[in-house]
Chains A and B, each alone.
Chain A
Amino acid sequence: MGLLSLTILIPAFGALVIAFLDRGDAVPKIVALVTSLAAFAASLAILGPFQMGEPGLQLTESLTWIPAIGASISLAVDGTSLALILLTTFLTPLIIIASWDSITDRVRGYLAAFLLLESAVLGVFAATDLLLFYVFFEVSLVPMYLIIGIWGGAARKAAAIKFFLYTLLGGLLMLVAILYLFSQTGSFAYADMLALELSVTEQRWLFAAFLIAFAVKVPLFPVHTWLPDAHTEAPTGGSVFLAGVLLKLGTFGLLRYALPFFPDATVEFAPWLLAISVVGILYGAVVALMQSDIKKLIAYSSVSHMGFVVLGTFALTTTATSASVVQMVNHGLSTGALFLLIGFLYERRHTRQIAAFGGLAKRIPMMAGLWLVVSLSSLALPGLNGFVGEFPILLGTFQTNRTAAVFATFGAILAALYLLWAYQRMFHGPLEGADNENTSDLKPREIGVLVPLVVVIVAIGLYPKPLYDLVEPSVDRVLAEVGVEGLIPGDGLAEPEGGDQ
């Protein structure tokens, strides 16, 4: 068994073990933690045989699945998918530790659902057979649906259904497109579909189908409204996984499938997608500003931040598009950490209304300090991880579309505004009211969950080079498929005008 299948199967195996364990919550928790750590270790081991600098898919594993239709269980990774696999396996153990005491109802089910979810998502990142990819993509919906619907807040049912139907309907369009591609090639293999020559008209329709499926996942404006509801109702672990990993299925899908499969359509639609991304960046930020529920605020900030990722993806330059992948990881870390903090605060106060808090920095300095660091990372302060993704995205976008880059940059003001305004209202000012005075600071277990995240946030912020070295070759491969070989820096030198386009 190869390392990839091992990494994917370990969590599923853990879920199986938990399902057969007797009553009692302690043992399943330990099993879940050990399994998720084992999956993390397995994914780290992938870095051993992985050839850095090699642009193609590698470490291929293949098993016959349904020979009649040419579907196989084939797995492989490139730098992009490996970065996202590592993000997933890094976050999952932290989520399990964070949920240690906060989930008391049907603990085994919760843990099993999470491990299944992890397996499904890892499968999405590693699959190189479109049918297998689709199955993983759709299967990942079920545990997330259950996590929101069973362990969520008061309005969890409606939020879960909205989440489920929204993404499922998007996914169905993609299924149709996949089947069309299959009808042309007679195979579900990624390489076969990539080799397909499609007319521009075909490309447009198929691109649109893939785009809708992935846009819902990202989520891109204007199909984003399931996200705030899902986040608000999901339990902490669910929110972390949703923001940290699940949203990336959309941006990953765009980069892996929509761009290289439909290069002409990609180039044709790119300006529109840049425009939608910019609208999403600013729109998400403005709506975030007005939220009174801190979790909803961060949910809308995700709409804004993921807008940057899509912007960089469709800027179609090595710099911007590679930075998009880096920013997928960064968003997972920063927003994941913010949702963890919100969860820890919620466990203490049972409210997420910003107005209920105030002056907490005096009472809980540890949480206040970490909250500030993570907020600064999210608002892209240089020295922390968000900046080393956001800045090259904008710089690279500026090379192809100055207007989009300039407007997107204004998102930086809004991000500082909604994050620091929320911080000020919650942590600064006088410490008033018994609830605020009695809020307790982080426990060692909670600090243990946050510290690894903050360490990685700082490490990437100061030394993102290994991450860029990992993803850049794979991004270059995709851009070569699209037919734009990345722009040479300093291209604008020949331009007579400096102002705008």
Chain B
Amino acid sequence: MALTLLAAEGSGLTNEVIDATTGIIGIAWLIPVLPLLGFLAVLALTKTLGDRAATIAIAVSGVIFALSIAVAVQVLADPATYVRPMPTWIAVGGFEVAFDLYIDQLTAVMLLVVTGVGFLIHIYSVGYMHGDSRYARFFAYLNLFLASMLILVLGANLLTLFLGWELVGLSSYLLIGFWFEKREYAVAAKKAFITNRVGDVSFMIAMFLAFAVVGSLDLLEVNASSLDGTTAFVLVLLLLGGAAAKSAQIPLYVWLPDAMAGPTPVSALIHAATMVTAGVYLTVRMSPVLIQSVGAMTIIAWVGALTALMAALIAVRQDDLKKILAYSTVSQLGFMFIGVGTGAFREGIFHLVTHAFFKGLLFLAAGSVMHAMNNETNVWRMGGLRKVMPITFVTSGIGWLAISGIPPFAGFFSKDQILTEAYLHGFGGVYLVGLVAAILTAFYMSRWFFLIFLGTPRHGGEIHPHESPRSMTVPLIVLAALSAVGGLALNPVHTGPLYTFLEPSVAPIAELGFEPAGPLTEAVLIPIAIVAALFGIGLAYLAYVRRDVSVGAMAEPVRGIGAELLERKFFVDEFYEAVFVRAGGQLARAITWFDSRVIDGAVVGSGVASLATGRWGRRLQSGLLRGYIGWMVIGALAVLGVLIVQVVS
């Protein structure tokens, strides 16, 4: 206790640290354990109960949402960092980690987002997955995901966090490949897992380094340590390596667009609202370490800015409604990393929350559209859906305005606050890149919205779109409400309630000595952001509403090599394919040839094989036991020889 208090003091975190085993914190371990049991129970009972087994998973998701609210209320009423001691996991040679839980304001926010959106998506899936042959199994996997994600946000040390980190990767693998009969879906699942493994290696080395210099992996202790410049720089970059894979940043974002192979509720929950934000959570959680290396933070900010820009550019010319949203997610995660890198930790988390609302909403709306359109995904074969799907249309409209950054919708506040902070903290270049990405965001999301809902239908007469069932529209309405007022309610001004609430759980940046990048103030930056958003929407309106788009993709206003570059996603997949798959494969083949011809050939060819094919070998082959006894005799003779030497000397 004394030690942990001391630890908290060194970190710059102002929370009091309380070891808690009673009250709601005392039973907080139920939050990850219940969905884990739900996962096992549904799998075990599917044979006897059939689809009804899914009810268990849905009930669990509701119960843990309620528990999370209770935990959040406790943190709100009595702010502190609560550590819930749990059994030891690994203990050997001075290395010790336990399954302890760590609950502070940041945890509370993450718990609410994960279980809240998780609960809504369980309900939505009742309608969306109806009739699937592995219906109950889908819910089992959703529960496994929730358990994993909750371990991730609750873990009190980096290794327990990593346990959740890896298990969300497994859940993601299982859910991307849920329809594994399609080969490309299975390939996408594997690609996600392997790409994340690259990041995991970085994360693991970060832990080795942290342990080597701190002697512990506890969040409190690592965050309380004062590191030398090089160690801090390397440690933060290693953590970024892990975060960049999980949160789909350059150069490891390539798995996320392919992950859209999974059922749409999965895209909403895992690949937009929650799992992909784990890297943002990790870096904000380690903010006391981050602020020890402004150099590394600058790299994070630029990775975020370039990812935001590049993904937004790609999204401009995608035609698959889910792929557009996927690149949009990559881009929005980039904004969150701009926040992390420029020291706007709380703004980053704010955007994480609003993004969970509006991107969860947009994906569920996309699912609703696909549900109505016989799984059509090409936006050029849609159009005019506003009439037949009024609820999906209105709720999508709110999501579109929210992500585009139009006040008073949620995304406006969070995105604007990130960009403002980037500017005010002296990251002028990052700010400009972010602003361009924001214009592009408004543009590609307007294109998405206009092509799907406005104009006249471009789909064939055999499709009869219809509004989705209530279990799907209710979650849409809830998320639309949150997207509409969530920003205003949580943090309407820079130092709003959420900002104040989160203060004790992130590192203070006052001592970093950030200076504004120029003379502009927030009063000027906010109008700039609004104009930028309107400009993006206006361009899209001219291109896709005012012009005739009935001819389909031929109607794209710009053609040529630049457009081609965007359509082909800057050829990054092709580049990776050439380097890692083809060149790597050739290297692997060469090594395998070396193994069978050189290593085995040399050893066997010169030695063993000559024996085996020669007279000795034939003798051994004809009666190996006899041959072996021969060897034993030789051995015995040798023993005898030594004995004689002993006796004689």
List the interface of chain A (C-beta within 8 A of B): 68-69, 131, 138, 141-142, 145-146, 149, 157-158, 160-162, 164-166, 168-169, 172, 175-176, 179, 182-183, 186, 222-225, 283, 286-287, 289-291, 317-320, 322-323, 359, 361-362, 376, 381-383, 388, 391-392, 394-396, 398-399, 402, 405-406, 409-410, 412-413, 416-417, 420-421, 424, 427-431, 462-465, 468, 472, 486-493, 495-499
Contacts and interface: CB of A to CB of B under 8 A. Distances in A.
B565 interface: no
Minimum-distance CB pairs A-B, first 7: A490-B215, A498-B231, A318-B93, A428-B186, A319-B93, A492-B212, A398-B208
Interface residues of B, number: 79
Contact of B213 (A68, A323, A405, A498): A498
Contacts of A472: 92-93
A166 B608 contact: yes
Contact of A168 (B181, B211, B588, B631): B631
Most buried by A among B90, B170, B646: B90
A391 B159 contact: yes
B553 interface: no
B617 A412 contact: no
A392 B92 contact: yes
Given A157-B621, A412-B200, A175 B635 contact: yes
Contact of B227 (A410, A420, A486, A498): A498
Given A318-B93, A399-B212, A421-B190, 8 more contacts: A362-B181, A383-B163, A412-B197, A424-B187, A430-B182, A487-B94, A493-B215, A497-B230
A179 B599 CA distance: 31
B177 A428 contact: yes
A374 to B, nearest CB: 14
Contacts of A394: 204, 208
B643 A322 contact: no
A429 B93 contact: no
Given A141-B628, A413-B201, A287 B166 contact: no
Contacts of B592: 286-287, 290-291
A399 B210 CA distance: 11
Contacts of A417: 194, 197
A464 B181 contact: no
B167 interface: yes
A78 B649 CA distance: 37
B643 A69 contact: yes
Interface string B77-109: 000000000011111111100000000000000
A164 B212 contact: no
Contact of B228 (A410, A429, A498): A498
Contacts of A225: 595-596, 599-600, 603-604
Contacts of A164: 620, 624, 628
A492 B213 contact: yes
A392 B90 contact: yes
A283 B201 CA distance: 18
Interface in B162-205: 162-163, 166-167, 170, 173, 177, 180-183, 186-187, 189-190, 193-194, 197-198, 200-201, 204-205
Nearest to B183: A429
A464 B180 CA distance: 34
Contacts of A318: 92-94
A495 to B, nearest CB: 8
A145 B625 CA distance: 9
Contact of A413 (B173, B194, B209, B611): B194
B638 A428 contact: no
A499 B624 contact: no
B207 interface: yes
Identify whether the interface residues of B are mostly helix, strand, loop, or mixed.
helix
B642 interface: yes
B170 A398 contact: no
Given A391-B204, A409-B205, A498-B234, A420 B190 contact: yes
A287 B595 contact: yes
B204 A161 contact: no
B230 A499 contact: yes
A424 B208 CA distance: 32
A424 B56 CA distance: 30
Interface string B228-264: 1011111100000000000000000000000000000
A419 to B, nearest CB: 10
Contacts of A490: 211-216
B91 A468 contact: yes
A322 B187 contact: no
Nearest to B186: A428
A489 B90 contact: no
Contact of A462 (B89, B166, B181, B600): B89
A234 B546 CA distance: 73
Given A223-B603, A489-B211, A172 B635 contact: yes
B95 A489 contact: yes
A428 B186 CA distance: 6
Contacts, number: 230
A88 to B, nearest CB: 22
A142 B159 CA distance: 45
A283 B635 contact: no
Identify whether the interface residues of A are mostly helix, strand, loop, or mixed.
helix
A398 B642 contact: no
Most buried by A among B213, B216, B227: B213
B186 A429 contact: yes
Nearest to A431: B181
Given A318-B94, A410-B201, A179 B612 contact: no
Contacts of A322: 92-93
A383 B209 contact: no
Contacts of B588: 286-287, 289-290
Contacts of A402: 208, 212
Most buried by B among A169, A176, A222, A489: A489
Given A162-B608, A162-B612, A416-B193, A491 B212 contact: yes
A248 B69 CA distance: 51
A398 B211 CA distance: 9
Contacts of B214: 490, 493
B568 interface: no
Nearest to A166: B608
A416 B643 contact: no
A383 B167 contact: yes
A223 B193 CA distance: 32
A176 B639 CA distance: 9
Contact of A468 (B90, B205, B639): B90
14 contacts: A161-B612, A165-B612, A225-B595, A286-B588, A287-B592, A320-B93, A382-B166, A391-B90, A402-B208, A402-B212, A405-B205, A412-B200, A412-B204, A428-B177
Contacts of A391: 90, 159, 204
Contacts of A492: 212-213
Given A409-B201, A412-B204, A424 B186 contact: yes
A250 B505 CA distance: 50
A496 B166 CA distance: 32
Contacts of A320: 93
A333 to B, nearest CB: 17
A268 to B, nearest CB: 23
Given A149-B624, A179-B639, A361 B166 contact: no
B5 interface: no
A69 B92 contact: no
Nearest to B185: A428
B645 interface: yes
A475 to B, nearest CB: 8
Contacts of B608: 161-162, 165-166, 169
B531 interface: no
Contacts of B227: 498
B52 interface: no
B633 interface: no
B27 interface: no
A442 B452 CA distance: 48
B528 interface: no
A396 B600 contact: no
